[in-house]
Amino acid sequence: MVDFNDNSHRRYNILTGEWVLVSPHRTKRPWQGKEENVVNEIRPSYDAECYLCPGNERAGGHINEDYTKPWSFVNDFAALKKDVPLAKFKSGLLKAESESGICKVVCFSPDHSLTLPVMRVEAIDDVITLWQKEFKNLSDKADINHIQIFENKGDLMGCSNPHPHGQIWAQRTIPQEVAKKNKQLREYWHNNHSSLLGDYIKEEQELKERIISENENFIALVPYWAVWPYEVMIAPKKQHRNILTLNTEERLDYARIIKAVTIKYDNLFKISFPYSSGIHQAPTDGQDWESWHFHMSFYPPLLRSATVKKFMVGYEMFATPQRDITAEMAAKTLRNLSDIHYSNL
């Protein structure tokens, strides 16, 4: 029997139908590559130069509302335009089609100095409530068939502004990553008459190897097929196709577990931990999508320390994703970290 904790092996991602190469023995190799500069700066509650702070002028010339709670606006430099005519092009092997949509910025707090792990649970709940409002308003539009809520946190993840914020991109077509999950979730539902993710969560609860935090309504774990070193997935224990059907207590538990996960991230290397996070939900194209079970994923780049990141290059770009620590190793490390933010210890 091969010891998967010390030998290379592949793991299957049930949500996408793809594989990841796991090479736990590689953590023993010395690192002489690039190391990042880490700046744990103390930011003010208000920055007159920040284009997301309340009352300030944005780069596009618009003036922000003097908001006191989470606030959203249409991105001044959106990747998608809403009134693009539907058009298709085909010439031989060349194909293209127009794409339309709406891009919004969601400011989590008026306080420039905050991040999710140091926000109050009630304040994170306010963010989720705004996500719900935006999801409902956007999904009611006839030409919106998918809504992606996400956050890029930190310079390492390409964040252009340190003010606590995320984005929402709503578009006419269904993106590739979601299309893969549509297929896997629907096939499993058809064959088993149950939720693929729901059944996976039950299995993880029995094994207790990769869970890092849970409460009555939500669970946070390192997926068996995780690609990023300290990747985490948050999911409701009860099957919800999207965030709109969460009741008040479920929404609060969602806020609590987001705070718990991001505190553990910050505590790992005693820094404001960078990541990209996103919520995958059922498409809004009018189909039933009874197979869907929404979930939130965190993809952080750091591997060995605050200064050494995981690069997706070479083999990962040309062959298949690869990771150097097992999901079990990562889960144990995160699970054993304090639930109190290091700045308060």
pLDDT confidence tier of residue 334, bands split at 50, 70 and 90: very high
Q: Is the pLDDT of residue 32 over 50?
A: no
Query: Which residues are tagged catalytic?
Result: 165
| Cα 263 from Cα 278, distance rounded (Å) | 17
The position carrying tokens 């806020």 is 255
Q: What percent of the chain has pLDDT over 70?
A: 94
92: left (phi over 0), alpha (psi -120 to 50) or beta: left
Tokens of 18: 């793809």
Mind listing the pLDDT tens digit for each residue in 259-309? 999 999 999 999 999 999 999 999 999 999 999 999 999 999 998 788 778
60: left (phi over 0), alpha (psi -120 to 50) or beta: alpha
What is the sign, positive or negative, of the torsion defined by CA atoms of 158, 26, 225, 256? Answer: negative
Q: Once rounded to an integer, what is the mean pLDDT over residues 14-43?
A: 71
Structure confidence at residue 345 (pLDDT): 83
Structure confidence at residue 140 (pLDDT): 96
Q: Could you tell me which of 306, 296, 304 has the C-alpha nearest to residue 274?
A: 306
pLDDT confidence tier of residue 106, bands split at 50, 70 and 90: very high
Four-CA torsion 57, 53, 127, 301, nearest 10 degrees: 100
Backbone phi, then psi, for 249, in 5-degree steps? -70, -35
